[in-house]
Amino acid sequence: MIKKIPARDDIYCDRCGKLCEPSDRRQNGHLTVNQDALDYQGCAVADGTVKFDLCDSCLYIVSSAINEAMKKRIETIAD
């Protein structure tokens, strides 16, 4: 008899480091920053994309910080 047990992927928050249990990941927070890696002349030479897994609490904190930074940037440009 063979009993197959599916693999389990433990996801740890990249901000606070805690183990994200399925019950704690209602929003499945993933932050992806798409960017190019540049050489010394400023030319794109590679994919510099970075990805973060976040628990729901940290997702709220990070997204709030991004929204606030963008709001300040837009206000600076408008002036």
- Predicted TM-score (pTM) above 0.75: no
Assigned domain for 1 exists: no
Please, which residues have CB within 8 angstroms of residue 13's CB and are 6 or more apart in sequence? 20, 53, 54, 55, 58
Assigned domain for 34 exists: yes
Assigned domain for 5 exists: no
To the nearest whole number, what is the mean pLDDT of the chain? 87
Domain that holds residue 39: 11-78
Q: What does the pLDDT read at residue 66?
A: 94
Considering all CA atoms of the chain, what is the largest pairwise distance in Å, rounded to the nearest integer? 72
* Rounded Cα gap, residues 37 and 42, in angstroms: 9
Q: Dump pLDDT digits (tens) for 19-54.
A: 887 766 677 788 999 999 999 999 999 999 999 999
Number of domains in the chain: 1
